[in-house]
Structure 1
């Protein structure tokens, strides 16, 4: 069994404001329940998750009443929230970390990702999904993706981490997250040659793993999953519309 952390502290101050008046994105209702509840249900139903710590606002306690779920109030960025939440879980084993905005996540996707990850020796496991899988399952869904030698992939929002590796990688991870929308800053972190190869679609998955491992000073492994739900995050109205239709049909 693994403990899990769900990052759920983001204010609803962006594009999703047009879809809901909730103050936090995790509390936006899709179908018949808040977005974060779908993620928690998938983790619980996987059969491999014990304790779940939700890093987010105190208001989440009003509906997250399961005995295995606790809320840790946070007020910082995603990296800081993850580090804070690690104080409340069992760090003698790998820990799952998920964001609260992937309501299509399934128990099978969680279990398969962990099973595949445990075949390798690494500190940080990151899921990637072929865009063909995304388009086949969710036609019309727009995702940020990258063309690699092995194909075009999008990233997922569920991670398996070695808790001991978090302190030594947190600062670099914070820099990377803060720089992700600035090509110039990314070049400084990753190197111009690497960024050019990425732009020219000449990077392979092993090259990407090696570079990120070097930058973060930990061993990173990309896990190819056939579950597109793991990478369908809701961060704009078009995502909200498609995901709402899917969940309403599934209800």
Structure 2
């Protein structure tokens, strides 16, 4: 299996005042993205790790990542540029570069659950109560549906040929990935009504996404909140430092 980490510059990030590229923001003296690479290196089923981002900013990753791909002008372009270096038949694990608390156990659990189901696209979701138990005080975007209240993860597992075929169609999904109502609008009026009433199910969402993109999509429930706990703002940095520097690590478990 291949892995791709998205490390494009984010000019609108509040963290750029500390570091030009958020992926290289140091937490406990180590760049965020290196925590993710280290977690992936521990997994025997990942044989290649590629990073896509501005090459001139990622020189410190040379020899650390297997492949560094110069970024494009958008997230969708970066995903496509990354996918193009791998064969169509491969499965690719795509992650953002701002989840430094991710662990190899969390990734393994997600991948093993995904591989028990036949699909083209797998997306992790985490129950609110599990997220708040481990990381109390962390603000996340939650969606209440019939199956429970969930937040989304920051990694996906997808077939390379599916990326190449559907990436342009998925652009709006990626832009509005943290705005549930916007996503519901893209999915259609019936979804909006059910979403607002909290009666939509995971299965219905999977079927609607599959119909829109001509793929088989599957939501994977994860018990590892670090799979979606990203570092977007200063308060997130403080929590990551407490966890990764050993201050409050595992105290909520």
Select the residue among 53, 56, 61 that pairs with 1:64.
61
- 1:123-167 CA-to-partner distances (Å, cap 9, x unmatched) read 100000111111111111111010111111100011110111123
Normalization by structure 2: what TM-score? 0.90
In structure 2, relative to structure 1, the CA distance for the partners of 1:4 and 1:185 (3 Å cut) is closer
Shift of the alpha carbon at 1:10? 2.7
Shift of the alpha carbon at 1:14? 2.1
Runs of 4+ aligned residues of structure 1 deviating over 4 Å after TM superposition are 179-186
Task: Compute the RMSD of aligned alpha carbons.
Answer: 2.0
Counterpart of 1:245 in structure 2 is 242
Counterpart of 2:167 in structure 1 is 170
In structure 2, relative to structure 1, the CA distance for the partners of 1:226 and 1:107 (3 Å cut) is same
In structure 2, relative to structure 1, the CA distance for the partners of 1:217 and 1:114 (3 Å cut) is same
In structure 2, relative to structure 1, the CA distance for the partners of 1:110 and 1:60 (3 Å cut) is farther
- SS at the partner of 1:172? coil
Counterpart of 1:197 in structure 2 is 194
- 1:32-59 CA-to-partner distances (Å, cap 9, x unmatched) read 2111111111111122211111001113
Quick check: 1:7–1:97 contact (8 Å CA) kept in 2? yes
Quick check: 1:125–1:160 contact (8 Å CA) kept in 2? yes
Tell me, in whole angstroms, the C-alpha distance in 2 between the residues paired with 1:192 and 1:158.
Answer: 28
Tell me, in whole angstroms, the C-alpha distance in 1 between the residues paired with 2:131 and 2:180.
Answer: 27
Counterpart of 2:51 in structure 1 is 54
Counterpart of 1:79 in structure 2 is 76
Normalization by structure 1: what TM-score? 0.91
- 1:76-132 CA-to-partner distances (Å, cap 9, x unmatched) read 211211111112234322111111011001011111111110001111000001111
Matching of residue 113 in structure 1 with residue 96 in structure 2: no
Counterpart of 1:213 in structure 2 is 210
In structure 2, relative to structure 1, the CA distance for the partners of 1:243 and 1:182 (3 Å cut) is closer
Quick check: 2:3–2:50 contact (8 Å CA) kept in 1? yes
In structure 2, relative to structure 1, the CA distance for the partners of 1:38 and 1:59 (3 Å cut) is farther
Counterpart of 1:36 in structure 2 is 33
More helix by share: 1
Tell me, in whole angstroms, the C-alpha distance in 1 between the residues paired with 2:109 and 2:183.
Answer: 35
